[in-house]
């Protein structure tokens, strides 16, 4: 949770996470990017370094909050070679896409463009991470947690967000074939709409687990 500055006890007490990483212990030494204290690329690489790269580890479930697409979209990072990420210092030497917050939120067209650029960055980072560090067992569930600000969506936007399942093993995709999803990360107009809890239950059922409610 790179956006957190303080302890999140619910992560352990309610969600039963074994470890929680935040901006205090991820080792980032680069610049902030608006509200996001570090680029998504650094967050994913930190997960790789601290957990995924361990030898002989048990299967790992990780929740990763990618927040480079969070408002105000005034400073959008750029994807750099993974070997250059280091402790994030190199991001300080890059010319990020910048705009003033007041200018963005006073101009819906510019705000939508900046938001789109931030989503493009986040997705490009995820795809690049999979290409560089992914293996046959990696499965990603990529989803948004809410719509952007009304300056981007306009009034009356729904709460719908896209969900993508990314996996190298075709058997993973075969398990959810009955969902009638389609290839790609851009939902079609007739894509099925489910509440988050229903997606959770369907996902757990598809892979042999019974949903647990609290």
Q: Domain residue spans in the chain? A: 9-134
Distance between CA atoms of 26 and 46, rounded to whole angstroms? 7
Q: Is the pTM of this model over 0.85?
A: yes
| Two structure tokens written together for 182 | 């389609």
User: In terms of DSSP H, where are the helices of the chain?
Assistant: 9-13, 40-47, 101-105, 108-133, 150-153, 170-175, 196-206
pLDDT for position 141: 96
pLDDT for position 102: 57
3-state secondary structure of 177: helix
3-state secondary structure of 191: coil
Assess contact for 146 and 159: CB atoms under 8 A: yes
pLDDT for position 214: 41
Q: What's the average pLDDT block by block, 10 residues per block, for the chain (214 residues)?
A: 93 95 94 89 97 94 94 88 94 65 74 92 97 95 91 90 94 93 88 93 85 48
In terms of Cβ atoms closer than 10 Å to its own Cβ (0-12, 13-18, 19+), residue 117 is: middle
């Amino acid at each position: 949770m790179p956006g957190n500055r303080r302890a999140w006890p619910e992560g352990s007490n309610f969600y039963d996470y074994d470890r929680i990483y935040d901006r205090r212990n991820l080792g980032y030494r680069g610049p902030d990017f608006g509200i996001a204290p570090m680029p998504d690329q650094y967050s994913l690489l930190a997960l790789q370094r601290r957990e995924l790269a361990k030898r002989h580890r048990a299967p790992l479930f990780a929740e990763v909050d990618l927040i480079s697409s969070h408002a105000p979209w005034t400073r959008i990072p750029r994807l750099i070679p993974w070997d250059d990420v280091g402790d994030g210092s190199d991001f300080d030497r890059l010319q990020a896409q910048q705009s003033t917050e007041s200018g963005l939120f006073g101009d819906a067209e510019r705000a939508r463009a900046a938001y789109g650029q931030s989503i493009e960055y986040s997705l490009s980072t995820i795809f690049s991470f999979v290409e560089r560090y992914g293996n046959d067992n990696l499965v990603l569930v990529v989803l948004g947690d809410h719509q952007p600000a009304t300056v981007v969506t306009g009034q009356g936007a729904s709460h719908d967000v896209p969900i993508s399942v990314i996996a190298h093993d075709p058997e993973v995709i075969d398990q959810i074939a009955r969902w009638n999803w389609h290839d790609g990360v851009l939902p079609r107009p007739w894509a099925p709409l489910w509440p988050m809890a229903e997606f959770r239950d369907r996902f757990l059922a598809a892979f042999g687990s019974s949903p647990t409610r609290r």
